[in-house]
Amino acid sequence: MGNVAMNVERGFFIALVLLLGTVLLCSCIANKGKPKVYVMQNPKTMEFKNCEAGRIGLQKDYAKSEECVKELQKQGWIIWGTQ
């Protein structure tokens, strides 16, 4: 009985790891082609700021980055470049 329970736990763990890996991969594929960093410039002061999507670049991180860009553009900033 102990071996069966251990095999079930191992199978559950493997399925969980595969599911999480698939979710992460799908998130990365969905954001492919989007810049991870927007370099913003204030034309008046020549100051620079970055709006970043984070290291992993999940969908929520890209949404925060795009919101950052929109807020700075409302204040007169321009997109100077992307990475």
Distance between CA atoms of residues 14 and 33, nearest Å: 31
Per-residue pLDDT tens for 10-67? 777 787 777 666 655 555 555 456 778 999 999 999 999 999 887 766 778 888 989 9
Higher pLDDT, 1 or 53: 53
Phi, psi of 46 (to 5 degrees): 65, 20
Give residue 45's pLDDT.
96
Placement of tokens 């399925």 in the chain: 15
Q: Whole-angstrom Cα distance, residue 51 to residue 64?
A: 8
Residue 79's region, left for phi above 0, alpha for psi from -120 to 50, else beta, is: beta
> Which has more pLDDT, 27 or 75?
75
Amino acid at 10: R
pLDDT at 8: 66
Q: What is the pTM of this model?
A: 0.59
